Amino acid sequence: MSNGDQANQVTALQQQLAAMQQELVETQRLAALGELVGTTTHEFNNVLMTVLNYAKLGLRHKDDATREKSLTKILAAAQRAEKICNSVLGMARNRKEEFAPTMLQQLVEESLVLLEREMQKYRIAVQTDFSETPAVRAIGNQIQQVLLNLMTNARQAMSDGGTLLIKIAYHKSANLVDLTVQDSGSGIPKEQLAKIFERGFSTKDGPDETGKGGAGVGLAACRDIIEKHQGRVRVESTVGKGTAFTVRLPVFVQPQAAAGAPIVTQLGVPSMGAVVNGQG
Ligand SMILES: Nc1ncnc2c1ncn2[C@@H]1O[C@H](COP(=O)(O)OP(=O)(O)OP(=O)(O)O)[C@@H](O)[C@H]1O
Ligand SMILES: [Mg+2]
């Protein structure tokens, strides 16, 4: 085979791989959306019960104080429903495949709205630590997919409750942003750590009672998305103590379009490796 043929074959294989990666991300997105429909339908039912009960209370009691309280509760419930709705619709509708300036803090908040009750149910305290950060260069929808996958994994690793910490930190000198999802759960044994991003690798028996987990595609999709963003992902885990996934993304650089000059978007992300701490 000539060099030219070989080069053509490599290009064809690369295109095939890229298409498969895209397909995996899309399939996983739909699966995550399906899971969210389950969670949010339940949530909506809760909100509806609140509205119904306080509407009845307000009608039963004619005094101003009770009516005021009832209306306040109804308003809060409706606002919660609105937030949930917007988050789900955002995920379902926004399929733009374009890189744009993206505020990570907003994505985290929208994702937490969707998983808030689930965290409460499993006695998981949610903490956030956001430093002032510029927008990153990202496809918002896809980074939200990464966040939901990491947060769901974190929740599943804390079967007896625990703490979920979501941190956003800006590294000014390198002009990049770190998004960390940290749990106080089971941790990952060293021999499994090298495999967790493989498609199909899972230590879960199957979907849990919320219908999530077990396919082994969540982290593979995360890896593909982060690669596409020219970002890096790093894992730190200690068995019995917990795990932290850190996604590093480049800050959005406004293209400097001088008259007639080509547009250059600068990206620079130093590589990060997997780190295992104090394997127990
Ligand atoms: N935060 C975590 N703590 C402990 N183990 C984890 C954590 N995140 C991932 N893992 C391990 O990595 C494996 C692969 O994760 P991945 O999200 O790809 O698949 P999954 O959660 O098993 O299934 P799904 O495709 O539904 O997400 C998990 O089965 C689990 O063993
Ligand atoms: Mg998962």
The pLDDT, as a whole number, for residue 150 is: 97
DSSP designation for 229: T
- As beta bridge partners, residue 178 has 169, 248
Q: Does domain 99-276 have CATH number 3.30.565.10?
A: yes
Residue 215 CA, ligand 2 centroid: distance in Å: 7
For the CA of 202, the closest atom of ligand 1 is 29
Contacts of 58 (CB under 8 A, 6+ apart): 66, 67, 70, 71, 74
Per-residue pLDDT tens for 39-91? 788 788 889 999 999 999 999 999 999 999 999 999 999 998 988 888 777 77
Segments of the chain with pLDDT less than 50 = 265-271, 273, 276-280
Name the one residue in this structure whose structure tokens are 């997919």. 145
DSSP conformation class of 261: P
Going from N- to C-terminal start, the domains of the chain cover 99-276
Q: How far is the CA of 255 from the centre of ligand 2 (A)?
A: 36
For the stretch 209-237, pLDDT in tens is: 877 878 899 999 999 999 999 999 999 99
The minimum-distance atom of ligand 1 relative to the CA of 183 is 1
Ligand 1: which residue has its CA nearest to atom 17?
218
pLDDT of residue 278: 41
Which pLDDT score, from 0 to 100, does residue 97 have?
75
In the prediction, which pLDDT does 261 show? Answer: 54
Coil, strand or helix: which one is 88?
helix
Strands 275-276 and 124-130: unpaired
Interatomic CA distance for residues 16 and 8, integer angstroms = 12
